[in-house]
Structure 1
Amino acid sequence: MSPSAGGLVVFLLSVQVIQSQDGWGVNYQQTDVCAAKGSTVEIICDYTHPPGIRPSDIKDRFWFTKEKDGEPVNLKTDSEYSGRVTYGCYSKECHLIITDVRESDSAEYKLTFMTNKPGEKYTGSPGVTLSVTGLQVKVRRSDSTWLELTCHSSCVLSDHPEYYWYKNEKYIKTGSSLLVSSGSTDRYFCYLRESWNHRSLAVYGPQRPSVSVSPSAEMLEGDSVTLTCSADANPAASYTWYKAHRTSDPRLLSEEPQLVFSSIQSSDSGNYSCTAENQLGRKTSDFISIDVKYGPQRPSVSASPSAEMLEGDSVTLTCSADANPAANYTWYKEHEDSPRASGQIFTITDFTAEHSGNYYCEAQNEMGRSNSTLLLITESAVDRTTMIIHITRWTLVSVMLIVLLLFCLWTRKKKAVSSTTEPHESREAVEMDLHPEYEDLSDMAAQREDPEEQEDQV
């Protein structure tokens, strides 16, 4: 059941005080008033004046809290109270009504009189001290699952104050405390029955944090950069910063609302997130990407297959440099002004002696430029000697093959000629075997010329 609207809040905290001066006096009904923020307060007093003063002699009566140039400032003319103050006097009783009181209204209020006589005035002092307090909800962890919410005021408003609890603008119960589940995303606040025009601030867990970057323009290496995390939460959230890593858990960087890079480096590029947390819950922001721009580092160059070439070969030169944004590449030969090629890869086809020399590449982006060291490309003398040796070796092999072929042909021809005289040679061999006493061919020839032997043969 929802409570009905309440009325004024005025609490008497001490006995009335009577001031008197030559017949003048102000009796305030209370010296201290405690009121809830947003409520309406009424301060009442009565006064006395000397017997010779007629009511018509009092030309002005008003309430004030501060002075200007030694003179009291009428509350009705004070811009801080505009539209919220009414007062009046009937007979010898005066009252002051302040609506929708604020914490800034906490002050000492006095009534002052001015008569028709120049300079004649009287102020009832000390006055009435007003303390305005706002309702607060205190959060205390009951256990790992539940939180206890308590409606609280800094001053005692009554012996038995009655509070009403709301959840997301809907009334749920009456009482000074309320149990809610930990991690709840709902909003809770309380009302004081005597101060229906005002309620406490709602308590709730953090909403998803937002991240801002300053400066928001392009980040250059060496700049000062600040990341700020903020989240709507009550009680106020605490913050934690993380940097994402591909191969490991996010790395904790800071436990402050701001993450400051006094001189940001290329290694600081990456994805960042922050976490906001209070007693009621925890939320993490989306990742924000930090991209630090920087000029090319010194490029590295390589040759494939090698830097020593044979005439007619092809060689591929490759240049690479760390840069953001990515670098553009230009190739030069030493002592030449005009570039030989552009692009990260430079290929020399049909290598000749004219291509030998020192080469370097230049890497350039909008942040700057950098040149590589020299790369010497030469025609290989060792390989040329090896080639000559190979040519000589194959020439010798060819000559040997030709000689061998000619020898074989000669041998075959000789065998063919020898085959036509083979029977005659056989008979001579037989005769040599039959006449071992002949020691040489001349004896054999003489024997053959013997006439008797010739006759016997006939």
Structure 2
Amino acid sequence: MIGKSYFFLSLLQVGLSQEWKDNTPREVPAQEGSCVQIPCHYTYPSHLANHSRVGIWYNNEIRNVSSIAFHSKDHNRELSQFRHRTRLSGDLRDGDCSLIINNVTRGDAGPYYFRIEFENRNNYSFHPVTQLQVSAEPSQEWKGDTPQKVTAQEGSCVQIPCQYSYPSCLRHRPRDGVWYNGKGQSSSSVAFYSKDHNSISSRFRNRTRLSGDLKDGNCSLIINNVRRGDAGPYFFRIEFDGKNRCNYYPVTQLHVSDFTDKPTIFPAEIIAGKRVNISCTFNTTCNGTAPVVTWDTPTDVPGSVSNTVTQHGVTLTYTSVLTLIPSLKHHGHNLTCRVRYPSVSSERILVLTVQYAPQNLSITLFDMFDASWINITEGNSTVIICSVESFPASNLTWRHLNVTMNRTRSNNELWLVIRHVTSWDTGDYQCVAENEHGAVEGSITITVELHVKPVVQKENLPPLSQVSVVHNTCGIDCTCTSSTMDHVLMNSCTLEVSQHAWNESCCSCSHAHIHGHTNRPDNLLYANINFLVLPSGDGTVHRSEVTEYAQLRFQRN
């Protein structure tokens, strides 16, 4: 019976012993002056879950009181060389036994193992050991990312981007950040100190801050109201518990120039009588003192303004939207968008180009007087000008009898030139102006005054009734032109008349006054001739329009 009990007890111990396990690396590297973490996780029998426990790290391969690097219950039992430099990174109750060693020294190198002790003497040492190797080279975990050069504009704000890394064992440790304006560490060159603002140099005080959180690895520096004297080298320093610390190099050179940045206006289509939104934006990569974006408008241009700030990456965009309803009288007025910092400002000007339908169409003659009717002497020339006010420029078209004569889209003006006016040019002329916003039309009426064209008189002749002709006859070539609404009719006839009688069945001479002659054998003389259409079937005679041109030929004795 005793043998069986011993056998079952042995099996129970074997089963329980399988629950004592740990997970630690065989080797961990560290850099002198940095911190290091030896990862460790352990398991234990479940019946001990609610029991208190003590964790001990030994800097040795065997358990020895003189080699305790960390003791969770009594720190006084730790070796003096480890005291105040070691701690656990987690909670023993969660199975986390990872060891942190701060400010690593060359003497910390060697084997390490972990031991757990429960209050009921259930204790266990976890092997194999972890070998810690310490290098004299600077830790690669201390890294900084800052630009070599940053340019700022006087009066604005500037951000010096900065990201830093550090040993993971310091993740939960408090820290302080310092920015120096110089290549060395002196109290007069402190541009920012997160722990004590009174330690900041007076020329930077109340003008500098960090843009992010040091716990997130963000060490970016903001300088507001930049001055010329702010130019120079800058570098960042991090301090953990006053022990683990690092200066991040190389330095960043800050250059300061004049303030030249201007806002940008995004013009919109501006139509008279229609509401429009006009946007003005200003971009900056500095989230320090915010610029103020405002509008300057004429007093008779009422409107409302809304302001927003958006961020895309590191760029901040300040936007001001002006809402107004423009009218024609605002065409050519200035809208000014201005951006202001405490000591500097800049502006951008937009000249309002208000679009509107054609209006105020006028028709004038070349000598610049308005007219709706003109009388032109036959054979003369004339210039008629159609002008209009519109934006954009209108398409201008001259029409006569529904036929387009000419057109243009230039300077809102179109000339109509009529050379050597004839009776065919009589009638109404329309000028039409149109753009995408509307149309307008005007007209002018032209009448033609017939003109008798005399020739140079060589000598006076007797009245036609007294002209002597060969064979007592006179040959009259009569060419007449008559017009109807839809066609032009050319008529000609030759009239032979006696010396004492005129046959008016074809042509008749009115104003039978000879005005002159040429010295050619066949003299060509001019007279006004009325053309009578031959009698119709009912015997009536119909008179046409006044003849425009006629020839009278005769042979003198």
Please tell me the TM-score bracket, short chain as reference.
0.3 to 0.5
- Using structure 2 for the length normalisation, give the TM-score: 0.34
Q: Which has the higher strand share?
A: 2
- Which structure: greater helix fraction? 1
